[in-house]
């Protein structure tokens, strides 16, 4: 068993072994950040013998190699890495770190390894994890921990869902009410959607801009890009509670403590809403100045108020739009264009907010069980798309509903997608919606080891996928979990057969009996047996 996740696309074992108790790293100065982690891990793990020969790691630029790809030549005296830039060098170090078992705690006198030749490159350029911090909030340290894990697993993007009906999570000084009102809810629905159980504690959480900048900086050092999301015009009950003027009928509501698709959202009929939304994304684009992408949501927009709202109806008449779908598309286009034209960033929207009239530069994110044929046609016609079907990649689902084998094994499944349109799929994203994810332990339980399965699904070519081998490796990642102090689901849970408990509606959000037991334990922060 070669213990590597994601498994490299070409790996050959060669004769001999490596062992060393001193080392040096050779790399051009401008790429140095790429070897910082490796250097730290080596110096933590190895009790360095100054008299021993220095084992040499040399990182060599090669323009023929694609971005993120790398080649590793190992032999007894030296390991050479070829890549065309920092990202390739960095991912090579993540592979070496696993091969040399550098995450293991404690110091040793010698580092040993078999000798390999590795040639590796990602299956998709876009490999992303989405974290919802509106429904529940996990905090700076947890987000940094997740970024480190993503980075080790060669997942290069964190999509950060920072606004929804249940709370707005950025403190923008120019929008004081977003912190004062929109970041706070008075109670939270617990246990499941079906019963009427509530946690009556006030829940107020928010990141300061400084905290966000600190996280962005941390992510950059680990080659993880952040995509911030402010979902609109739907899922904006929290924003509208803070600024009722954005509501179709100027009504004052409370920030939601329950979950669903609500009608008390932004009005796309009022000019005030456009002004507000543009100013808000201005703040977002400035805060996330290095982000290539901005996500503006667009999903699950309830049109009930729009049908009756005089402003919405007036706007439709003015613009000669014959239905509220077109009004929604107009709103999203205005915001998307504002971002694309003023900040030179790309805009992503959930697929159910993308219509015939949607600006063709907008990237579509597919999330549903079954993709509507007209949306697949958009991909055939050239629309760039991110693939994140809930049936494969929604990690908030219990393992009993979504066993890990489905995350690992299913390729791109879109009926009637033309062969030459596959190139429009930029990559994959897995998502954690946090309605029922009340604390960091439950969060980790839901995503580990699923992130490992996702890592391999999005990095390794399907021809090199081997689920049995993968499970064996996952079961031997103890030192990785310990290093990060990560909670994870045990094998008997993550290999659960799907659908077994589907009919027990009240347990839909909690999964199997065993998962409920685990969740309860994690709630109390007691880690029970594996």
Name the DSSP letter for residue 108: B
**Is residue 234 a contact point for Zn ion (CB under 5 A)?**
no
Burial call 463-477: b when 16+ CB within 10 Å, e when fewer? ebbeeeebbebbeeb
Burial class of residue 146, CB neighbours in 10 A (0-12, 13-18, 19+):
buried
Q: Tokens 């995350």, residue?
A: 407
Tally DSSP H helices, then E strands, for the chain. Answer: 19, 22
- 301 or 430: whose CB is closer to Zn ion? 301
The distance of closest approach from Cβ of residue 494 to Zn ion in the complex, given in angstroms and rounded to an integer, is: 45
User: ω into residue 233 within 30 of 0, thus cis?
Assistant: yes
Enumerate the β-bridge partners of residue 366: 387
Q: Which of 170, 248, 285, 371 binds Zn ion (CB under 5 A)?
A: 248
Q: Which of 267, 281, 376, 451 binds Zn ion (CB under 5 A)?
A: 267
- 123 or 303: whose CB is closer to Zn ion? 303
- 99 or 240: whose CB is closer to Zn ion? 240
The distance of closest approach from Cβ of residue 261 to Zn ion in the complex, given in angstroms and rounded to an integer, is: 17
Cβ(209)–Cβ(162) under 8 Å? no
Distance of CA 490 to CAs 137, 228, 487, Å?
25, 32, 9
- 312 or 496: whose CB is closer to Zn ion? 312
If we measure between CA atoms, which residue out of 5, 4, 8, 2 comes closest to residue 461? 8
* Residue 423: both structure tokens together: 């190139």
- 249 or 422: whose CB is closer to Zn ion? 249
Residues 496-515 contacting Zn ion, CB under 5 A: none
The distance of closest approach from Cβ of residue 270 to Zn ion in the complex, given in angstroms and rounded to an integer, is: 6
Contacting range for Zn ion; rule: CB under 5 A; set: 87-95, 269-277, 412-420, 424-432? 269-277
The distance of closest approach from Cβ of residue 278 to Zn ion in the complex, given in angstroms and rounded to an integer, is: 17
Residues 300-319 contacting Zn ion, CB under 5 A: 309, 311-312
The dihedral through the CA atoms of 259, 264, 266, 269 has a sign that is positive
Cβ(93)–Cβ(36) under 8 Å? no
Enumerate the β-bridge partners of residue 230: none
The DSSP-derived string for 349-399 is EEGGG--TTS-TTSEEEE-SSS--HHHHHHHHTT--EEE--HHHHBTTS-T
The distance of closest approach from Cβ of residue 273 to Zn ion in the complex, given in angstroms and rounded to an integer, is: 8
If we measure between CA atoms, which residue out of 169, 23, 3, 13 comes closest to residue 98? 3
- 323 or 360: whose CB is closer to Zn ion? 323
The distance of closest approach from Cβ of residue 312 to Zn ion in the complex, given in angstroms and rounded to an integer, is: 4
The distance of closest approach from Cβ of residue 321 to Zn ion in the complex, given in angstroms and rounded to an integer, is: 13
Contacting range for Zn ion; rule: CB under 5 A; set: 107-115, 186-194, 247-255, 517-525? 247-255
- 215 or 312: whose CB is closer to Zn ion? 312
The distance of closest approach from Cβ of residue 175 to Zn ion in the complex, given in angstroms and rounded to an integer, is: 21
- 298 or 403: whose CB is closer to Zn ion? 298
The site that binds Zn ion (CB under 5 A) totals a number of residues, namely 6
The distance of closest approach from Cβ of residue 269 to Zn ion in the complex, given in angstroms and rounded to an integer, is: 4
- 128 or 311: whose CB is closer to Zn ion? 311
Residues 375-434 contacting Zn ion, CB under 5 A: none
Q: Please give the residue ranges that form the binding site for Zn ion (CB under 5 A).
A: 248, 267, 269, 309, 311-312
């Amino acid at each position: 068993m070669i213990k590597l996740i994601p498994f490299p696309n070409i790996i050959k074992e060669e004769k001999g072994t490596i062992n060393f108790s001193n080392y040096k790293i050779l790399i051009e100065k401008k790429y140095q950040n790429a070897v910082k982690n490796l250097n730290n891990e080596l110096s933590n793990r190895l009790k360095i013998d100054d008299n021993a020969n220095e084992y040499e790691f040399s990182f060599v630029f090669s323009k023929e190699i694609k971005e993120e790809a790398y080649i590793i030549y190992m032999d007894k005296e030296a390991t050479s890495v070829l890549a065309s830039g920092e990202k390739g060098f960095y991912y090579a170090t993540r592979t070496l770190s696993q091969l040399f078992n550098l995450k293991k705690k404690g110091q040793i006198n010698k580092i040993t390894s078999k000798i390999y030749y590795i040639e590796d490159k990602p299956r998709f350029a876009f490999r992303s994890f989405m974290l919802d911090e509106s429904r529940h909030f996990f905090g700076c340290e947890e987000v940094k921990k997740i970024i480190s894990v993503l980075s080790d697993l060669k997942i290069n993007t964190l999509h950060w869902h920072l606004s929804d009906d249940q709370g707005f999570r950025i403190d923008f000084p120019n929008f004081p009410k977003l912190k004062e009102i929109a970041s706070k809810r008075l109670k939270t629905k617990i246990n499941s959607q079906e019963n009427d159980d509530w946690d009556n504690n006030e829940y107020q959480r928010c990141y300061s801009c400084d905290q966000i900048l600190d996280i962005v900086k941390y992510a950059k050092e680990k080659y993880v890009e952040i995509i911030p999301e402010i979902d609109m015009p739907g899922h904006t009950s929290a924003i509208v509670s803070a600024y009722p003027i954005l509501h179709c009928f100027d009504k004052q509501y409370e920030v939601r403590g329950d979950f669903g698709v609500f009608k008390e959202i932004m009005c796309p009929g009022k000019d005030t809403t456009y002004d507000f939304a543009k100013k808000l994304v201005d703040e977002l684009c400035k805060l996330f100045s290095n982000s290539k992408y901005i996500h503006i949501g667009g999903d699950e927009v309830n049109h009930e108020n729009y049908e009756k709202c005089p402003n919405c109806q007036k706007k439709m008449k003015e613009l000669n739009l014959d239905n509220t779908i077109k009004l929604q598309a107009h709103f999203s286009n205005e915001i998307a264009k504002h971002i694309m034209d003023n900040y030179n960033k790309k805009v992503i929207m959930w697929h159910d907010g993308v219509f015939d009239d949607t600006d063709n530069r907008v990237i579509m994110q597919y999330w549903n069980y079954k993709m509507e044929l007209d949306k697949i046609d958009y991909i055939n016609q050239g629309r760039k798309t991110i693939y994140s079907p809930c049936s494969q990649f929604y990690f908030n689902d219990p393992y009993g509903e979504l066993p890990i084998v489905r995350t690992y094994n299913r390729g791109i499944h879109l009926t009637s997608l033309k062969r030459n349109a596959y190139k429009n799929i930029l990559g994959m994203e897995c998502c954690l919606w946090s309605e029922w994810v009340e604390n960091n332990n439950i969060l980790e339980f839901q995503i580990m080891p699923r992130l490992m399965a996702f890592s391999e699904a999005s990095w390794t070519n399907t021809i090199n996928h081997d689920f049995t081998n993968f499970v064996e490796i996952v079961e031997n990642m103890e030192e990785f979990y310990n290093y990060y102090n990560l909670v994870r689901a045990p094998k008997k849970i993550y290999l659960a057969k799907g659908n077994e408990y589907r009919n027990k509606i009240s347990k839909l959000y909690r999964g199997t009996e065993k998962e409920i037991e685990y969740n309860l334990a994690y709630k109390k922060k007691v880690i029970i047996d594996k």
